Structure 1
Amino acid sequence: MGISNRLLFCQCTAYLLAFVLALFAAVPLGQDQHELRGRCPLYGVGRWQRSNESGATACAQAYCFHVQRWGPPSACRYSLFMGIFSCAYSALQGFRSTYLLCKGFEESLFSEFVSMLLSCTIALLMLVASAIVSDGLNIWCNSVTNKGNITISCRDAQEESLNLNAVSTLFYDHFGTAQFGLWCAWIVWIVIAILAFLKVSHCRSKDDFSVQYKETLLNQQSQKYFREQMGSVFI
């Protein structure tokens, strides 16, 4: 197997891994958005209040959580979009790479260069999505874990009735899984970008070698033709 085929095989494997990791992000984010009816807990702020505290919403528990401000919907939608886009694009590129590998075809230098630029762009966008989920979840957890005089874990807080009039959601499990999927997918897209760069370098060196070989062959033919012409003149 040549260098080009080995790189293409590695790309096929990386695209498959990126597809699986994108599902880890897209599925839980979509489920959480459905359960919360489009509201986003990322960067959301709230606080626990006693049930007898003035201004507190009536509830049967000693402490009730009051959401003071939901996070911007764009934070969840962007992360969800990147998960879905990464899933679709990696599936398409994985199928295309597998087809090229099985048929033994080679891509042009321009096509490889475009693939490298797209991979670098997606890696950058995945980094932004991963940072948004991690930072936004951290801010939300800081609000829900301070329950009165005690501190509970963010995992335990998802079992509480945080949004009184809405259905409960396992936000920590959802965003924790999405966080894992996005960060791992970001690493995989960096690997894909590196593989694309190696393929561009290989194609460029191969094209340079072909040009040099053609120039050498033309020079040899020119010299041979010149010697034949000179020989015919002297004869």
Structure 2
Amino acid sequence: MELDRRLLLAHCAAHALSVVAGLLVVVPMALNGSAFKGRCALFSSGYWRTEERAELTEPPQELSRLVVQQWGPLAACQFVTFVGIFTVLYGAAQGWRCLFYLHGRHDDTLFSSFLTVLLSVCVLFLSGGASVILSLGFSSWCDTVTDANTRPYSCAESQSVPLYLDVNTSSFFTELSLAQASLWGVTALWLAQSILAFLRLYHSHSQHMGGPWLHRDKEFLLGQSPTESISSSSPRPPATPTIFI
């Protein structure tokens, strides 16, 4: 298999994996947003408060509940979701183009390959930033839920502990941890796509420069101009005899 087809096939596989990873970011974030009634758990701040709960037949009992002072900014969750949606749409479109190029046995132009490299690098930085935001925001929410790790349970176990909030917290750790791992996977795939796009650009540029200019470069290296080679290679007409009278 030729090098350009191998690079194109690897790029197709990276696009297909990016679609799957992007869906694993979008779906958990959408479920978490629905469970939290449109609020963002990332970077939320709060504290635990102990209250006495009076029963009719039992003595008063102490009840600990989480009080959220301020929910996280919606822009953090929306940015993470946007990166996931863009990855799914872009991966699907580019995957279709890769299959079309594999079937037609041709590749992008140099300008299109350059734009692909530029776009891949830009989205790589965006996905990396979104991964950092999601990781830091998730860690901040876990510190709030576990009261800076002073509670007798971990962040994973806290989703089965009643927090007495007006939102559904029964699966927040599963959703956010899945979105976090998938988003870091998306970042790794964008890095792979950037490298593959650069290799395809370099290979296309080498083929473009090595085609019409290869023969001319060889002639210049041999110290012979193209016009001289043409004139030397063309046959000379036979000399006619001269008759003196």
* TM-score in terms of structure 2 length: 0.85
Report how many residues are paired.
229
Q: CA deviation at 1:107?
A: 1.4
Higher helix share: 1
Q: Is the contact made by 2:52 and 2:62 (CA closer than 8 Å) also made in structure 1?
A: no
User: In the TM superposition, what whole-angstrom CA distance separates every residue of 1:40-68 from its partner, at most 9, and x where no partner exists?
Assistant: 01000111110139xxxxxx871111001
- Equivalents in 2 of 1:142, 1:213: separation in Å? 63
Instruction: In structure 1, give the amino acid aligned to 2:17.
Output: L
- Equivalents in 1 of 2:167, 2:145: separation in Å? 16
- Structure 1: runs of 5+ lacking an equivalent: 54-59
Match of 2:190 in 1: 189
CA RMSD for the aligned pairs? 2.6
Match of 1:45 in 2: 45
User: In the TM superposition, what whole-angstrom CA distance separates every residue of 1:132-163 from its partner, at most 9, and x where no partner exists?
Assistant: 11000001101111299633211121223335
Identical amino acids, percent of aligned pairs: 30
Match of 1:99 in 2: 100
Specify whether residues 229 and 16 from structure 1 end up closer, same or farther in structure 2 by C-alpha distance, changes over 3 A only: closer
* TM-score in terms of structure 1 length: 0.88
Specify whether residues 134 and 147 from structure 1 end up closer, same or farther in structure 2 by C-alpha distance, changes over 3 A only: closer
Q: Is the contact made by 1:26 and 1:84 (CA closer than 8 Å) also made in structure 2?
A: yes
Match runs of 1:170-181 below 5 Å: 170-181=171-182
Instruction: In structure 1, give the amino acid aligned to 2:115.
Output: V
Q: CA deviation at 1:33?
A: 0.9
Q: CA deviation at 1:229?
A: 7.2
Does 1:226 find its partner at 2:231? yes
Q: CA deviation at 1:111?
A: 0.8
- Equivalents in 1 of 2:149, 2:210: separation in Å? 72
Instruction: In structure 2, give the amino acid aligned to 1:49.
Output: R
- Runs of at least 4 residues off by over 2 Å: 146-151, 159-169, 213-235
User: In the TM superposition, what whole-angstrom CA distance separates every residue of 1:149-192 from its partner, at most 9, and x where no partner exists?
Assistant: 63321112122333522333411111100001000110011011
- Structure 2: runs of 5+ lacking an equivalent: 54-60, 241-245
Q: Is the contact made by 2:39 and 2:72 (CA closer than 8 Å) also made in structure 1?
A: yes
